[in-house]
Amino acid sequence: MTHGATARKPRWSRRLGLSAAIATIAAVTTAAAVQPSYGAEAGEDVPRTGDELIEALTALLPEDVEITGSEGEGLDVTADPYASLRVGDGSGGAWLDLGMYRWATDDWRADSGCAVWESPEEDGGTCEETVLPDGSVLSLVTWEWDEEGIPEEGVEPWSGRSWDVYLEGPGGSGLEEPGGRAVSLSLSKDFTESGDADAYVPPVDIDELAEIVQEPVWQEVLDAADEQYGPPEDWSEVPSSDIPAAELRATFRDLAPEGLDITDGEDDEPGWASLTIDDGTGPAHIDITAWDAGWGTDGAAAAAEEGDGSALVGEVIVDDAAIELEAGLSGDLAVEDWAQPLPTGEGPDCDTEVLDDGTEVTSCTWPSTGEEDPVALWWAAVSYPDGSSLDITQSDDTGDNTAPLSLEELTEIATADEWRALFG
């Protein structure tokens, strides 16, 4: 794992921290600590490279903290700079990760504080937050991991602790300015091999983390990121098509074989729909995505101009995983050449057929490899001559590689004329 890349903006990150008692004390004692200067002009001495960030972070640590390793990336290579230090603690060391992030939003408060975490207490974590006098939010989050592992299945035991501090505020000089920015500082320790997690004393305590994260220098780095990279990109989701979810579900119901028990998903997003199907031997999940002609083609055109010969032709989303399949723009590559491999196995088994009217149909299976990877996939991706497309995915997480629909049945459903009619 690359340290520093783990401490991300709240929407995409896992925040980590200490015990509830220490977090509460820290939130109170640091409320009047050094305040950030949002929107302050970046000075000439702003750390802009990875080495300069490492130097700046090291200078703010207690004098007795030993640095045994470091890595980092600055504004010279990324709009999301970070620095990671390996610090000595007398028992194998710990990682100290600093991250600075900006994101597009009309309400930065919605992406800040403890509200972004769903029941951390249930996962061995705690969260305490304080609104500082300038209106920014200081959060202290703690996590504890103690996994027993399953040796007979190759799953090793693991134990760890992490202490995180987050300072979050607006993207400009005023609290109502659009955009958001965050500075995070995390100390993490692996106790799997040795050490007593309950008796551990971190080399940088939670109060010191909170003071460091509020140093104005980090806001100056974020100001410099604004100047160099412009405002952060708006990652708001754009519907893949205007076709209502209800129409996608209704079309699938009309085309599905008789004898299936079909339950609608609770989604209601244009261009995407989900269902659960059951043939009496067990359920499977169905995801349907309809893509309008021209959706996402800017990236493909840019890729063609740069000569890398690739374009996104299908995406299958199962739970939190996204599997992207790429094919050559020229169409000369076989599926075996572009299918992305499994992290621990072979990858999907796919066949591609071009119909008489130019419609391209790719049908794939991706079997489960056991309890460590229990999800099996079957999907059909249909690309129409006008550029619109349809993906239907069936997933099963029992690990037995069986599902109500065979790949042939799923492909027959996906290639029915009724879908094309929905695009108008």
Q: What own/partner pairs with CB < 8 Å and gap ≥ 24 does 50-53 have?
A: 50/74, 50/76, 50/77, 50/81, 50/83, 53/81, 53/82, 53/83, 53/98, 53/221
Dihedral over Cα of 104, 105, 108, 112: its sign: negative
The β-bridge relationship of strands 283-291 and 311-318 is: unpaired
- pLDDT confidence of residue 74: 96
User: Which residues are within 8 A (CB) of 383 and not within 5 positions of it... i.e. 6 or more apart?
Assistant: 313, 314, 359, 360, 361, 362, 389
* 274 touches 289 (CB < 8 A): no
- pLDDT confidence of residue 152: 63
Could you give the angle at the alpha carbon of 210 between the alpha carbons of 177 and 118, nearest 5°?
70
Q: Is the confidence at residue 19, as pLDDT, over 60?
A: no
Mean pLDDT of the region 265-287: 89
Q: Is the confidence at residue 143, as pLDDT, over 90?
A: no
Q: E-strand spans in 106-244?
A: 125-131, 137-147, 158-170, 180-190
With a pLDDT cut of 90, the percent of the chain lying above it is 50
Q: Which of 19-23, 266-270, 364-368 has the lowest mean pLDDT?
A: 19-23
Residue 210 sits at φ, ψ, to 5 deg, of: -65, -35
Q: What is the 3-state secondary structure (H, E, C) of 251-281?
A: HHHHHCCCCCEEEECCCCECCEEEEEEECCC
* 252 touches 263 (CB < 8 A): no
pLDDT range class, residue 173, cuts 50, 70, 90: low
Q: Is the confidence at residue 338, as pLDDT, over 50?
A: no
Cα–Cα separations (whole angstroms), residue 193 to 11, 87, 91, 92, 158 = 32, 17, 10, 9, 8
Q: Which residue has the tokens 């050490």?
A: 195
- pLDDT confidence of residue 148: 77
Over residues 218-243, the pLDDT tens digits come to 999 999 999 999 988 765 567 788 99
* 104 touches 233 (CB < 8 A): yes
DSSP string, 352-401: EEE-TTS-EEEEEEE---BTTB--EEEEEEEE-TTS-EEEEEEEE-SSS-
Q: Which of 179-193, 262-276, 318-332, 359-373 holds the top average pLDDT? A: 179-193
Over residues 82-132, the pLDDT tens digits come to 999 999 988 889 999 999 999 988 888 988 898 887 666 666 788 999 999
**pLDDT greater at residue 144 or residue 53:** 53
- Please state whether the predicted TM-score (pTM) of the whole model is above 0.85: no
Q: E-strand spans in 20-93?
A: 67-73, 82-87
Rounded Cα gap, residues 296 and 302, in angstroms: 11
**pLDDT greater at residue 281 or residue 42:** 281
Residue 184 burial (10 A CB sphere; 0-12, 13-18, 19+): buried
* 141 touches 125 (CB < 8 A): yes
Residue 59 burial (10 A CB sphere; 0-12, 13-18, 19+): exposed
Q: Across the strands, what pairs with 111?
A: none
Rounded Cα gap, residues 181 and 10, in angstroms: 10
Angle between helices 206-213 and 20-29 in degrees, nearest 10: 40
